[in-house]
Structure 1
């Protein structure tokens, strides 16, 4: 607890800046922006009502959904990269920099889910979460994407694949950080490299991310259990 208090005291400004910047970047909802550009409508009044890639694909078309995919993923990369730079510039120790990356990512996802610029009604944060995972550890990213692809290819249901990938995130994070990275000879201090503290912090943050994504899919879970969830289809745009 003393270490945590000391970290908050020493890096309070960096934490605040990272969270604010991450949230503001995440609040730029590209599904809403591109739907308005292409269809002059609000994606939240169309289809499932979700401001995300899948609903844009079904309700608007392929091109705006591809643009949504690219820009939602990119904003996650940008937020996390800026968070990393903020903590690197302050000379923070390894685990604190990792916390900064996660904080930026979580803040960006919260911005995506509850966007400041669009009355706090946004998407589910799947693509933004994927961007965060990619920057943190490509091995965990491959596990999560692998689970997503397997479930999607079998079911053709994006929401089910997204939920499954989210559930696999904390499991994959623990397996990679503990069995591949953890060094028992290091102390449990936050200023050490791949110590037990690193395993605990990364796994805890991945649990938070997974909970955010799964929680936003609560309506989808109900439809999946009732056998009512739709398989993926794309709307054909009129010439």
Structure 2
């Protein structure tokens, strides 16, 4: 196996994850740094809050694409015969996690990024599309019912390892289950402040049916 190609892929996955889409898009298109408004978080949720639905959707899709592309680097190595089929899932998880780390700690903006939910979604879409779609459905239904993005993210992330463990889409894959619960713990840790606000009843709500803000473009 070409260790050099694997190392290059790991670096590429991190750099993909590090792309600060909310910061670059906000500053480049609107002249607004989302880190200085709203929650101060450099993620899609705060972009929705500060710049409106269109900007938030674009940033979210870019973040999803980052995770999907990084994870698919493993498929590229597989088709190049650098890794075997038995190693494919391991490398998909490795590259996807590296991309999420890049999103949370991006080299391009002083290692202060978002919480990695959209990038995690892209990773899961590349690993198990059917299960990812179920998690997306759970996220949307929870968001409509509660208007809490944080709660929706936590429940959707938890659904992945639980559904994997229950074997909803075939024989349970131990590695996916361990990965899923590890990601759930990571999401809980990155949402500590949100969880405290949820418990105190003062978490920010998002009205998914509200009209989008008018353009801030300069």
TM-score for the superposition, normalised by structure 1: 0.81
Q: Which residue of 1 aligns with 2:214?
A: 237
Match of 1:90 in 2: 81
SS of equivalent to 2:193: helix
Alignment partner, residue 196 of structure 2: 222
Provide the alpha-carbon RMSD of the alignment.
2.1
Instruction: Name the CA shift for 1:21/1:205 in 2 (closer, same or farther; >3 Å).
Output: same
Alignment match, 2:151: 160
2-structure distance, mates of 1:127, 1:23:
15
Counterpart for residue 204 of structure 1? 178
5+ residue gaps, structure 2, are: none
CA distance in 2, matches of 1:38, 1:53: 15
Distance 2:215 2:6 in 1: 48
Could you tell me how far apart the structure 2 residues matched to 1:39 and 1:91 are?
A: 43
Matched, 1:42 2:19: no
Q: CA deviation at 1:91?
A: 4.5
Q: 1:238 to 1:82 in 2, by over 3 A?
A: closer
1:99 paired residue number: 90
- Who is 1:122 aligned against? 113
Determine helix, strand or coil for the equivalent of 2:70: helix
Rounded Cα–Cα distance in structure 2 between residues aligned with 1:125 and 1:165: 13
Structure 1, unaligned runs of 5 or more: 1-9, 183-198
Aligned with residue 181 of structure 1, among 171, 174, 191: 171
Residues 26-53 of structure 1: CA distance to partner in whole angstroms, max 9, x if unpaired? 0001011111023323211111111111
* CA offset digits 1:79-129 (Å, max 9, x no partner): 111232124423533231111111111111110010011100000111111
Task: Work out the number of aligned pairs and report it.
Answer: 213
Counterpart pick for 1:74 among 61, 65, 74: 65
Q: 2:141 aligns with which of 150, 167, 178?
A: 150
